[in-house]
Structures are given as structure tokens and as C-alpha cells.
Amino acid sequence: MAARKRRARSGKPELADIVRAHGAAFRAAHRLCGVQHRALRAIERCRTAALGGELRQCDACGERRYVYHSCRNRHCPKCQTLAKERWLVARRAELLPVPYYHLVFTLPHELNALAQGNPRTLYTMLFAAASETLVEFGRNPRWLGGEIAATLVLHTWGQTLTQHLHVHALVAAGALSADGAWIRPRRGFLFPVKALSIVFRAKFLDALGAALERGGLTLAGNTATLREPRAQRTLLADLRGKSWVVYAKRPFTGPEQVLQYLGRYTHRVAISNERFVSLDADAVRFRYKDYAHHGQRKTMSLDPQEFLRRFALHVLPRGFNRIRHYGFIANRNKHALLARARTALNMPTPAPTLAAPESVAAFWQRVAAIDISRCPHCNLGTFRLLALIAPQSHPPS
């Protein structure tokens, strides 16, 4: 309620406001898949009476407030903070006391239309090509000669919500040898990015060519011509002739920097509420960084229908895992091999984490020193549950 009042005073919209104002017209005008419908509906209803909630009352002054349930959809910008913090707690215990390299593997924009019709297949190919490239370079004695630890995160958007298909890779500086020793990089870098780019391109195009040959892709609209073998060969030849982008950033110096990075990237949605400037019947305005001009901060104005079309492009297939671990932190190997890596690095075994996830109240107390049960009206009493609110079409008066 308080957040809603602050937003009303500031005039700044949220993604939910845009969906409520223009979502019905957008859904009527566009053919959407099931997960896109569910994501937009969840965002529209998030923290409203439509999802039900609780009526709470202060035991000191009698102040009442309604607390509505969250949608918990992973594309909702209001529902990612707690999920991110819980995920980071689990990852903290897995970090090693070594630098971490940040690499980015990007697909050419010529594949955007194909990805729109085949998101699960193309995203899976992207993960496979990037991870296999990293693992092979790690096992190569020329570079490391052991098993690496890598976390990959899929992003499908650019700053203006256009398609920009890429994965961020966080790779520990070193590898675990077969005899349990830690192998450190012998050069001032982890792997050469030009060589990574060539291998990454070859692996992806091999998988894409095989999928086209066996008819494993949906081809319609702009991609319908790819049903012809000649068009497939032309596409693959054009893509082989392009320089694919693998970008390596400066390595992080320690675990806390790594956690800050993970917090920014792992549970990010296509656009956060903080970036919105204004909303009216004709335009959605939001801030973005123009990386073509040295990251200058600019404002973009889009027709609401175009804005929602772009946003819907980044709704992931149902059940698709956009954060994946490889090497000796892959789930099938992690317990035994991570312990061997800690031993090789003379690292103490971290204390076990609590099995129960952190509560919402404990989370806000830890990260913001806010007691959400304390009444802000009198600052003396505690809010107590007065009644449960069933899901309904309109909020209670």
C-alpha cells in the first residue's frame, strides 16, 4: 500500500501498470504462447487482491493494512529480490578463494527470428556450445589441463528490449587436475578469446545444421524459406563467414566481487521497474544505456503495444533453466569434486547452511534492517494477522 502511494506521488509507472493498461489490447492483437499469457497475467495480478492475502492490524494503535500475495513469476521484476538472495546464500558456500573470469558468448542477430520460433532449442544449443567450448579449453594441457568450474547465465535482451541472445559465464581461475591438484593459469589470461570464438561458432553451427537437416525446428513466417536445403546451406555459410563475439572482462579479485556480479545478473528480468520514466496512452518511456556511445544514459519512447511485444520476446519456455553449472560444480559432480578443490586450495570446509529457506521477515531485517512486522504508524506495536483474504476481483474497501 505504502509503495503504491509513493508511486502515485512520483508518477513513475511499474511494469504491472503497463500490463494492466495495455495488456488486454496486446493479447487481443498478438498470438502468444501459454507461458507468455501466464507471465503477463501474473505480473498484472501481482500484489493485488486478485491473488488474495492477509488483513493485519497493529496491536498497539489499531492501524490496519492489507498485504497481498506475490505472483512469484520469474519474469516479474517485483518478485526476484528474495529469490536472488536465497540463491546467493547457497552459492556463497561454493565459491573458491581464486580470481573469477567473466566471459560473454553472443549469438549473431541473424538467428533472432529462428530463436523466436524455437526458443528452447536455440537457447539449449547456446548453452551447450558455450559450456563445451569452456570445458574443452580447460581440459586442454596447453591452457590448464583439468576440470574447470563455470556458471552460465542466459540473457536474451539488450538495453532497449530488442533480442540480444547471449550467456554470461563466470569461470574460476584454474582447474582441478585428475590427481586432485589445483592448476593455476600460466598466462595473464584464462583462454584466448579469438580461439574461443572460433570453437564456439563451430559447435553451435554444427548443432544448428544437424537440427535443420533432421527437420527438428519450427520454420514459419520469416524462417519458412529454411525448409529448402539450399537456403539452409546459405544461412550456415553466411554465419560461418561472420566473426562471432566472445568477450572477456577483467577478472574479479575475490568472492565478494563475484557475489555482487551474480546478484546483478542471475535473477535479472528484461527490464526493472526503476528504469521506467512515464506511461500514458501513447507511449512507454524508460531509461537505457547506449553502449554504442560509451554507455550514455538515454530515454527511449515506445508505443505500449511495441513495448509489450518486445517484453514478451524474453519470456522463457516453461521450466527452462537459465542458470546452469558446469565442470566440477555441475550437480552430478559437485559434492565430491568441490571438496577436492577446497583441499587443493587449503580452504576450510564452510559451515553447513540452514535447510529452511530464509523468511521474508528475516530477509528484510538482514538486508535493510527493517522490521516489517513493526507498525510504521505508531512505531510501537506489531502487526498481527486479523483475517485471511480470499482471491477476488476487486480490493476490499
Average pLDDT, the chain: 90
CA nearest to 42, candidates 391, 276, 322: 391
Query: pLDDT band at 397, cuts 50/70/90?
Result: very low
Strand partners, 298: 288
Whether 362 shows a pLDDT value over 80: the answer reads no
Q: What is the mean pLDDT of residues 146-150?
A: 97
pLDDT digits (tens, 9 = 90+) for 187-196: 888 999 999 9
Residue with cell 580470481: 99
Percent of the chain predicted with pLDDT > 90: 75
Whether 93 shows a pLDDT value over 60: the answer reads yes
Which SS3 state, helix, strand or coil, does residue 68 take?
A: strand
Query: pLDDT band at 7, cuts 50/70/90?
Result: very low
Predicted local distance difference test score (pLDDT) of residue 5: 43
Whether 354 shows a pLDDT value over 70: the answer reads no
Predicted local distance difference test score (pLDDT) of residue 368: 67
SS3 content of the chain, % helix, strand, coil (to 5): 40, 20, 35
The lowest-confidence range among 8-12, 122-126, 192-196 is 8-12
Predicted local distance difference test score (pLDDT) of residue 338: 94
Q: What is the mean pLDDT of residues 272-286?
A: 96
Q: What is the DSSP letter of 293?
A: G
Predicted local distance difference test score (pLDDT) of residue 251: 84
One DSSP character per residue, 311-377 reads: HHTTPPPTT---EEEEETTSTTTHHHHHHHHHHHTTPPPPPPPPSSPPPHHHHHHHHH---TTB-TT
More confident residue, 161 or 93: 161
Element (H, E) at 82: helix 81-92
One DSSP character per residue, 203-255 reads: HHHHHHHHHHHTT-S---GGGGGGGSHHHHHHHHHHHHTSPPEEEEEEEE-SH
C-alpha distances (whole Å) from 374 to each of 52, 63, 78, 362, 368 are 22, 11, 22, 13, 14
